[in-house]
Each structure stands twice: as C-alpha cells, then as structure tokens.
Structure 1
C-alpha cells in the first residue's frame, strides 16, 4: 500500500496519452510498473514509490514543462530496453556531477530522462 506523501512532496504525476494500452505496455515493459484501470480513459500507475496516471481525456501536450527523470541501476541496459520498446534516444548517455544520464522520447512525444549515480 502506498503511503500518502508529506506536505510539499511530489505525490502524483499525470500524463495525457493518445493510447492508454500503448502507454501501459511501454512503461510496464521497460520499468515494470503496475497499473490499476479506472475505466476506459484512465489508468493509474505505481512504480514502487510514486503513483501517477495516464489519461486519454485531454490532448497530448508533450513539449515543454518539467523534465521527469527516472532512476536506473543499469543505465545502458535501460537504454536498450527503451529502444526495444520504441523510444527515441534524443540525448545519449552523458556524465554530470554525481552520475550519468540520457534523455528519451516516449511514444506520445514526452521527453524524459534516466540517470544513475557514479
């Protein structure tokens, strides 16, 4: 059972997607997320730490906004999984103080990141 977050913490992330089943397949196959469906236009995801949702009730607005960054203990392996799932790598693995990361575009056009520590 997910614990409700403390005041001021990010508690939920929601994505507008054009195809909920495709989003579930994409994120489930790469990151192993669990899903709870709430009708044909909404599903909630749980990544083991935070919940969020995919909805098809609004237009996809993938450009702009904050960059959501996932953690991966195996950065090259995660990159390969993303490519196999159909992601476009838009910024290859690069180093930054404290680790490495890369950016990818998901099937709806969202640009997201994945990082690991040194």
Structure 2
C-alpha cells in the first residue's frame, strides 16, 4: 500500500518572482516569505485554513499551473512513483532533485498534473 499524503500545497510557476511577490504581498495582502534553495529565490505562505501556496520562477512550466503537490511526509518517493507506474499512471517527471528535497510529477486519469514532494532528510525508498 502506498503511503498516504498528509498535506498538499498549491504550486505556481511564474515568469517574474519579484512581480509575483509584490502582487501577492502588497495587492492581495498575503504574507509570502522568501525561501532559499532555488534561484533567484522562491516564495511560500500559508492561508488561514492551512493550505500552503508556493511560487517558483521557472521557464517552461508556466501555464500548466497551479499544480497540486502532495507531501510524502515519511519518505519513500521512489517507491510511490514506482507503484504509480506499475498501476499504469503516466509519470511526467521522474523523481528529481527539488528545493529542499525530491519531487516527481504525474497525471491523473483526466490528464490533470499532480506532483509529489518529500524532504531531503527522508529516505527515498522505504523498502
């Protein structure tokens, strides 16, 4: 059985992180904080009901977001991706290094992009 995700974040890929920071902080009044681990930096914040929103400046993925990303809290991302592939799930991006950990992207049956992320200090395999 696959480990159950314990929380999810909505991730946006944007063309100008500084413009995004100004809009969400100054226009919408959200409290996004600058984070290190991606260049130039990335933004994160938590809405009142606990949903985390994350912004990365990135070419190529814009327009395919926001993306729902599930946090694999206990690790085992390699096992999860392998199990999804065995069940016929389309893996878009295999496990790769991501800010603070590891990530992978896949499609649901209707073609919606979903992602997985786990912290770097957790084991990639639980087997």
Q: TM-score, normalised by structure 1?
A: 0.45
Bigger radius of gyration, 1 or 2?
Answer: 2
Q: TM-score, normalised by structure 2?
A: 0.42
Higher relative contact order, chain-length normalized (CA < 8 Å, sep 6+):
2
